Chains A and B, each alone.
Chain A
Amino acid sequence: MKLFGPAELAALPADKFFTQLSASLSDGGRAAAYFASPADGGRRLCAALAHDRAGRLELLLSEPLSDGFPSLTPRFPQLHLFEREIFELSGLRPEGHPWLKPVRYPAGGPDPGTGDFFRVHGPEVHEVAVGPVHAGVIEPGHFRFQCHGENVFHLEIALGYQHRGVERALSAGPGARSMHYAETLAGDTTIGHAWAYCGALEALSGCAVPPRAQVLRGVLLELERLANHTGDLGALSGDVAYLPTASFCGRLRGEYLNMTALICGNRFGRNALRPGGVDFDLEPARAAELLRRLEDVFRDTEGAVSLLWDTASVTERFENTGPVSRADAAALGLVGPAARASGVDIDTRRDFPYGPYSRYDPPKPGRGDVYARAYMRWDEIIRSVRLIRGWLASLPAGPLTAPCGAPASDSAAVSLVESWRGQVCHAAFTGPGGGFLGYKVVDPSFHNWQGLALALRGGQISDFPLCNKSFNLSYCGHDL
């Protein structure tokens, strides 16, 4: 959660901006966010660059631009979707972008899922189109596979069906609904996004969140991770037709959600976080009950999940399926467990410590296949349980909330939170009165969808569900 005061928001002339952006990206910087925001006389580009290993966050701003700008995607593929989004939202055209298509198909443009798709030509090549309405109880998206028999040459993913104007509405804040917008950016990441939103506001208003609230936020965030990782391991198991773990984990995921409900009444952690702190206390009796349940459920999780690693028919399907190389993962700017599973050693909890996190030690990086992504989830489950145990053993006393006043004017705040899918980035810019000039949300899925597409290359179309579950990306978090 970093505040940038008016003095740190000097705009660079366009040529300097792109030189500096290229230099930072070549130097190992990762675009946590890259977007256009309104400025006097047009739109300016803003890049929030995370130098993960150095723990340094850099904010670059350009002077207002009026039409086009040079696309850096050919050199830095991690910018590909950011530049498409800039074009869609601001009309500033990234000249030389190799695949300048809509991102969310807002009204007034082409219908979602229409237009050009990347095509492979040849006598035996065929195309498979899936969605927007899928077979399961899941969100809508459109998938185009270019296939040769069972083999996938290329997968293109077209989203935007969940586009409901939530980022646009957030930009008009802060207001009565802002907190609820944040909590519903991606429902399964309620705590992750709520924390990022609160973090941005708190940075802007100079509010110091009390230690007890910080720890309680940490407990909720790790419970969210536990629920989702456990649920996904069950779903992966179901996708290779290994039903014991699938049914165990289906229940266990619910038990973790119920622990969140024990704290705040809602299984997803709605209304638990508010700017300044948390809205619910964890009294000693409740903390004891939470710990008791956590130990029980973790024991069952361990029993259910260890079956996976001991079952040859499971590991055989997980291993070497959907590989993403370290180089590709880094070039695409993947985040979260998907990145770590491919050997990209980044984790916001260690690189940009916030709240109660200090000296977090992420699991060893993996080798990039479904197995690695699954095992990474398990490794993180173990660590989340350890974190919660440690926090509950020495819960700081003190208030649950501190006053969070009006945001500083003409400032910016960038807020980074490691949600279960990876880094959530919120960037807020305020105008002269402290109201938002712009509010940018980057869900980890925004970085990672292209990773899923790449995982399918050269694989079998029948591996799609398995690869998809191993990433389990958010449609609504992407579509905003």
Chain B
Amino acid sequence: MFKELIERFRQGHRTAPFPPGPEKFSDRYLGLPRLTGAPLAKAAAACPVGALSAADSALDMGRCLFCGACAKADPAAVEFTRDHRLSSGSREGLVLGSGGTFRASGEAPPDLRRLFGRSFRLRQVSAGGCNACEADCNVLGTLAFDLGRFGVQFVASPRHADGLLVTGPVTKNMELALRKTYDATPGPKLVIACGACAVSGGPYAGHAETLGGAAAVVPVDMFIPGCPPHPYTILDGILRLINGDIV
């Protein structure tokens, strides 16, 4: 018992404040992209997943892997900020035009925010993907992020849940399980698509083995881009959904 207390004393209180300060992100972290307005042809040619469209001068964050290849190919055309707030309530909202400013969005309607604002239980469904998004959801439960302080919790059964957080492109082999889990969740319910795969198919977009994202199977209320999204991006998305524009 004493050993535990000594170690607890030594390691101290580690729960980080929210919203996070910039020191929480590496100086090399790639957050919200910005199009400068310069022609995108060169940057678009470097993109492995077709997230950049030179014709429309647009960057689809829903497809983006945040690999930085575009900014490396043409630093004059694409820049990355360290803003981690990336979520959107609509799929189109993730498409950035040049010059425009992006503002994270996606709050649920007022009646649902009243209902879930202080207590929101999520069932996570992993449906393809690489398990990195799941890892960054899991980390929200650690004492550093302390998800519980916001009244949010991942629960074991859809019967106990107010919504789903889906990761992965939804493989054909997970389609039925996702549908059943959704059906087993009592309404009203909210669905979060977390990570490039769940938003757009991610690196597997176009693979016949997958359905190209959660929205192919269930209605999605919140899209959180990233490959994988930073835990603070996920946290920001979840809280934005149930509390509105908090920060």
A residues with CB within 8 A of B? 104-107, 111-112, 132-133, 135-140, 160-166, 168-169, 176-177, 179-181, 183-188, 190, 244, 247-248, 250-251, 253-254, 257-258, 261-268, 270-271, 280, 300, 303-304, 307, 310, 474-476
Known contacts A107-B208, A190-B132; A177 and B203 CB within 8 A of each other:
yes
Q: Which among B26, B125, B156, B181 is the interface contact of A258 at CB below 8 angstroms?
A: B26
CB neighbours of A164 from chain B (8 A): 128-129, 168-169, 171, 204, 207, 209-210
A390 CA to B7 CA, complexed, in Å: 28
Closest to B131 in A: A187
CB–CB B129/A184 < 8 A: yes
Q: Which of B181, B207, B230 is the most central at the interface, judged by chain A CB atoms within 10 Å of its CB?
A: B207
Flag if B134 contacts A280 (CB, 8 Å): no
The verdict on A307 contacting B7 (CB below 8 Å), with A133-B181, A254-B144, A265-B30 known, is yes
Q: Which residue of A lies closest to B15 (CB)?
A: A251
Residues of chain A lying within 8 A (CB to CB) of residue B127: 140, 161
Please, could you name 27 A-B residue pairs with CB atoms under 8 Å apart, sorted by A?
A: A107-B209, A111-B176, A132-B177, A133-B177, A135-B156, A135-B157, A161-B177, A162-B126, A162-B129, A162-B173, A164-B171, A166-B204, A169-B207, A179-B48, A186-B130, A247-B142, A248-B7, A251-B144, A254-B231, A261-B29, A265-B28, A266-B66, A267-B136, A268-B228, A270-B67, A280-B28, A303-B7
Partner of A188, one of B7, B132, B142, B203: B132
Query: What chain B residues lie within 8 Å of A112 (beta carbons)?
Result: 173
- Measured between alpha carbons, how far is A251 from B47 in the docked complex, in Å? 34
Contacts of A307 in B (CB 8 A): 3-4, 7
Quick one: which of A107, A160, A251, A262 contacts B14, CB cutoff 8 A?
Answer: A251
Q: Does the CB pair B227–A270 fall under 8 Å?
A: yes
Q: Which residue of B lies closest to A260 (CB)?
A: B26
Contact A265 B26 (CB under 8 A): yes
Q: How far is the CA of A187 from the CA of B28 in the complex (A)?
A: 20
**B174 touching A140 by the CB < 8 A rule?**
yes
B157: A residues at CB distance < 8 A: 135
Indicate whether B90 reaches chain A with its CB closer than 8 angstroms.
no
Give the complex CA separation of A474 and B230 in angstroms: 21
Tally A-B pairs: CB < 8 A.
176
Contacts of A162 in B (CB 8 A): 126, 128-129, 168, 171, 173-174
Is B101 interfacial (CB 8 A cutoff)? no
Most chain A CB inside 10 Å of its own CB: which residue of B49, B169, B227: B227
A137 touches B130 (CB 8 A): no
- State whether A161 touches B174 (Cβ < 8 A): yes
Interface pairs A-B: 10 shortest CB-CB? A187-B132, A265-B28, A250-B142, A187-B130, A135-B156, A165-B209, A184-B130, A261-B26, A165-B207, A176-B48
Residues of chain B contacted by A190 (CB below 8 angstroms): 132
- Say whether B137 contacts A137, CB under 8 Å: yes
Per the bound structure, the CA–CA distance linking A248 and B169 in Å amounts to: 33
- From B125, which residue of chain A is reached at the shortest CB distance? A133
Considering the chains assembled together, what is the distance between the CA atoms of A304 and B136 in angstroms? 22
- Docked Cα-Cα span, A474 to B134, in Å, equals 12
* Of the residues B48, B142, B181, B230, contact of A267 by C-beta under 8 Å: B230
CA gap between A74 and B194 in the complex, in Å: 44
Given contact pairs A137-B138, A270-B67, A165 touches B28 in the complex (Cβ within 8 A)? no
A163 CB contacts on chain B under 8 angstroms: 128, 171, 173, 209
A261 touches B28 (CB 8 A): yes
The answer to whether A476 and B208 touch across the interface, beta carbons within 8 angstroms, is no
B10 within 8 A of A: yes
- Say yes or no: B143 contacts A137, CB within 8 Å: no
> Could you tell me if A247 and B203 are in contact, using CB atoms closer than 8 angstroms?
no
User: Shortest Cβ distance from A33 into chain B, in angstroms?
Assistant: 21
What residues of A have a CB within 8 angstroms of the CB of B144 in the complex?
Answer: 250-251, 254
Complex: how many Å from CA A101 to CA B228? Answer: 33
Q: Which residue of B lies closest to A131 (CB)?
A: B177
Measured in the bound complex, the distance between the Cα atoms of B10 and A66 in whole Å is 66
Q: How far is the CA of A169 from the CA of B209 in the complex (A)?
A: 11
User: How far is A139 from B167 in the complex, measured between Cα atoms in Å?
Assistant: 10
Interchain CA distance A258-B158 in the complex, whole Å: 32
Q: Does B200 contact A (CB under 8 A)?
A: no
Residues of B120-175 whose CB lies within 8 A of A:
124-139, 141-144, 154, 156-158, 168-169, 171-174
Tell me, rounded to whole Å, the shortest Cβ–Cβ distance linking B127 to chain A: 7
Q: Which residues of A contact B128 (CB under 8 A)?
A: 161-164, 476
Tell me the complex Cα distance, A263–B26, Å: 8
The residues of B that contact A165 with a CB separation of less than 8 Å are 204, 207-210
Docked CA distance A111–B171 (Å): 12
Given contacts A184-B129, A187-B130, A107 and B67 within 8 Å (CB-CB) = no
Asked if A264 contacts B28 (CB within 8 A), the reply is: yes
Q: A137-B137, A139-B134, A268-B135 are in contact. List 19 more A-B contacts (CB 8 A).
A: A107-B172, A133-B177, A137-B126, A137-B138, A140-B127, A161-B174, A164-B210, A177-B48, A180-B65, A181-B203, A184-B129, A244-B8, A251-B14, A253-B139, A254-B142, A261-B25, A270-B67, A307-B4, A476-B129
Residues of A close to B207: CB separation below 8 A: 164-166, 169
Chain B residues within 8 Å of A111, by CB: 173, 176
A317 to chain B, nearest CB (A): 17
- Residue B75 CB within 8 A of the other chain: no
B11, A248: Cβ atoms under 8 Å?
yes
A261 to chain B, nearest CB (A): 4
Chain B nearest CB, measured from A195 CB (Å): 16
| B-chain residues with CB within 8 Å of residue A188 when the two chains form the complex | 131-132, 135
A169, closest chain B residue (CB): B207
A271 touches B68 (CB 8 A): yes
> Complex: how many Å from CA A140 to CA B167?
11
- Inter-chain contact B68/A187, CB cutoff 8 Å: no
From residue A51, how far is it (CB to closest CB) to chain B in Å?
32
Listed residue (A107, A160, A187) with the most chain B CB atoms within 10 angstroms of its CB: A187
Closest to A475 in B: B131
Most buried by A among B14, B169, B171, B231: B171
